[in-house]
Amino acid sequence: MSLPMISLDSLVSGVSLEDMLAKAGSGGCSSSSCGSSARPEDMDEAIWEKIKDHPCYSEEAHHYFARMHVAVAPACNIQCNYCNRKYDCANESRPGVVSEKLTPDQATRKVITVANEVPQLSVLGIAGPGDACYDWKKTKATFEAVSKDIRDIKLCISTNGLALPDHVDELAEMNVDHVTITINMVDPEIGVKIYPWIFYQNKRWTGLEASKILHERQMLGLEMLTTRGILTKINSVMIPGINDEHLLEVNKWVKQRGAFLHNVMPLISDPAHGTHFGLTGQRGPRAMELKALQDKLEGGAKLMRHCRQCRADAVGLLGEDRGQEFTLDQIPEEVTYDPKKRDLYREVVAQERGDHIEAKKAAEAIVKDSLDARPMLVAIATKGGGRINEHFGHAREFMVYEASPKGIHFSGHRKVEQYCLGGWGEDATLDGVIAALEGVDVVLCAKIGSCPSDQLAEAGIRASDAYGYEYIETAISALYAAETGMELLAASA
């Protein structure tokens, strides 16, 4: 069936499915690039198949696809100095947050309910609280039950790595293609400052011995996954003064052992969370410190820069959290999976994605022509779909891109408090937004009022809604061309 242009917004915001199907069946494709692949030219087809719908493993996919987490495996076998057991696992999830814990049966009903409602859903992850490999029986039971009903859902786990080698073969048998290991050190002397103890082979280990065991098990697990063709992402928590410089070494080690991605996450340390680091005043890195380290790591293992440190019961696109719509009390006792909405969404995305790739190529060509231009940081307000489609005052985060003669690269995101609530903006909130946009040259959004625009300008940040609803890269290239005196080039592109 060929599809006319149907907006992604309509698919996810309540237009009836019947209307969309009728529209989809009624005409030819208006897209110039319908059917073209979004696969990067230098990527192997088999790897592309694994990552193209995974919002964490592909930055491009995260504009279109959503993950959900179920907190089914709360037991943990190590202690990290940035974790308080009252909360979720800070290795993958936002610290200080408590998730709704579920049994495998409850989790299965929840996943089916979400799949029926959220067409972007492509991945089910188990990411704390606790360790998915240590609390293995519940992890396995959940994955087996869900994949029986939703055959095309991708399964993903996050682990501290200590129990990982014991379960790699079962992960491979269950078609788990994506595993995250949190590796904060490859030097056990540094590990001593991060891990007070581990529990291994029915015994509690402390000090250097504990760190050595953890390190060896993490490396072994990574090598075993690589041998079996399972894509491994490494999460590292950046702890200033403890492992920040050392993460260059970690990056080298994991690259040599076949890691697919390296995700450096900032330590979030707050005394209110009651963690060792929080209580002893260990600070986390500032946004620009994180960026500087990530820039130093370029050229090593490929970096993930779009992580949102989501909740262990997160639902939705990265950066949005619809978890509160799907709490256990809202999940029916009996549920049946209906694939219609997800299938249709995928068809529409395939079409939109082809267009987006073509637009990106044109945009890259424009900025690469600007040989002597300085880099520019551009913050984007978006609701997804790769477009500038969020009002400034409604944004809860901005996606920051760097444009330079090297191209347009996603650099990271900045979380902010929503500035405009009920039609009014608070000055104090705006101050926080401006502080979060440190280093940014320009903000692009779908709409902005003169008051916030003027205050941003006073802080040296320009803002514009002139590119509203454009593809992100198209807008950035036009802006960059204009700013670097290349209007003629932009016009002829």
Residues contributing to the site for ligand CLF (CB under 6 A): 56, 67, 69, 92, 123, 125, 127, 156, 158, 178, 180, 233, 263, 307-310, 318
All residues at 6 or more sequence positions from 355 whose CB lies less than 8 Å from its CB, including other chains: 31, 32, 33
* Binding site partner of 191, from ligand CLF, ligand SF4, none, Cβ cut-off 5-8 A by kind: none
The nearest distance, CB 336 to ligand SF4, in angstroms, is 34
Fill in the DSSP letter of residue 101: B
DSSP string, 232-296: EEEEEEE-TTTTTTTHHHHHHHHHHTT-SEEEEEE----GGGT-HHHHHTPPPPPHHHHHHHHHH
Q: Which tokens belong to 101?
A: 């814990």
The nearest distance, CB 467 to ligand SF4, in angstroms, is 40
* Binding site partner of 198, from ligand SF4, ligand CLF, none, Cβ cut-off 5-8 A by kind: none
Nearer Cβ to ligand SF4 (278/385):
278
Around 187, how many Cα atoms within 13 Å sit in the side-chain half-sphere? 14
Nearer Cβ to ligand CLF (318/430):
318
Residue 228 identity (one-letter amino acid) = R
The nearest distance, CB 158 to ligand SF4, in angstroms, is 9
Nearer Cβ to ligand CLF (56/242):
56
Nearer Cβ to ligand SF4 (114/250):
250
The nearest distance, CB 134 to ligand SF4, in angstroms, is 8
Q: Are strands 78-79 and 197-200 parallel, antiparallel or unpaired?
A: antiparallel
| Helix (H), strand (E) at residue 306 | none
* Binding site partner of 262, from ligand CLF, ligand SF4, none, Cβ cut-off 5-8 A by kind: none
Nearer Cβ to ligand CLF (263/477):
263
Contact present, 96 and 268 (Cβ < 8 Å):
yes
Q: How far is Cα 127 from Cα 308, in angstroms, rounded to an integer?
A: 13
DSSP string, 420-484: EETTEE-HHHHHHHHHHTTT--EEE-SB--HHHHHHHHHTT-EEE-TTTTSBHHHHHHHHHHHHT
Q: Are strands 66-69 and 315-317 parallel, antiparallel or unpaired?
A: antiparallel
The nearest distance, CB 331 to ligand SF4, in angstroms, is 25
The nearest distance, CB 306 to ligand CLF, in angstroms, is 7
**Residue 123 three-state SS:** strand
The nearest distance, CB 168 to ligand SF4, in angstroms, is 18
* Binding site partner of 318, from ligand CLF, ligand SF4, none, Cβ cut-off 5-8 A by kind: ligand CLF
Fill in the DSSP letter of residue 270: -
Nearer Cβ to ligand SF4 (130/384):
130
Nearer Cβ to ligand CLF (247/307):
307
C-beta contacts of 452-461 below 8 A and 24+ residues apart: 452/392, 452/393, 452/419, 452/425, 455/430, 459/434, 461/434, 461/437
* Binding site partner of 461, from ligand SF4, ligand CLF, none, Cβ cut-off 5-8 A by kind: none
* Binding site partner of 125, from ligand CLF, ligand SF4, none, Cβ cut-off 5-8 A by kind: ligand CLF
**Residue 200 three-state SS:** strand
* Binding site partner of 129, from ligand SF4, ligand CLF, none, Cβ cut-off 5-8 A by kind: ligand SF4
* Binding site partner of 481, from ligand CLF, ligand SF4, none, Cβ cut-off 5-8 A by kind: none
Task: Using alpha carbons, select from 421, 439, 442 the residue that is nearest to residue 430.
Answer: 421
The pair phi, psi for residue 171, each rounded to 5°, is -60, -45
Nearer Cβ to ligand CLF (90/376):
90
* Binding site partner of 309, from ligand CLF, ligand SF4, none, Cβ cut-off 5-8 A by kind: ligand CLF
Nearer Cβ to ligand CLF (304/448):
304
Question: Residues in the site for ligand SF4, rule: CB under 6 A?
Answer: 76, 78-80, 83, 89-91, 128-131, 160
The nearest distance, CB 143 to ligand SF4, in angstroms, is 19
Nearer Cβ to ligand SF4 (90/400):
90
The nearest distance, CB 75 to ligand SF4, in angstroms, is 9
The nearest distance, CB 75 to ligand CLF, in angstroms, is 17
Query: E-assigned strands of 239-282?
Result: 261-266
Task: Using alpha carbons, select from 120, 147, 132, 135 the residue that is nearest to residue 92.
Answer: 132
Q: Which strands form 303-304's sheet, in the order they lie side by side?
A: 303-304, 261-266, 231-238, 178-182, 154-159, 121-126, 66-69, 315-317
* Binding site partner of 180, from ligand SF4, ligand CLF, none, Cβ cut-off 5-8 A by kind: ligand CLF
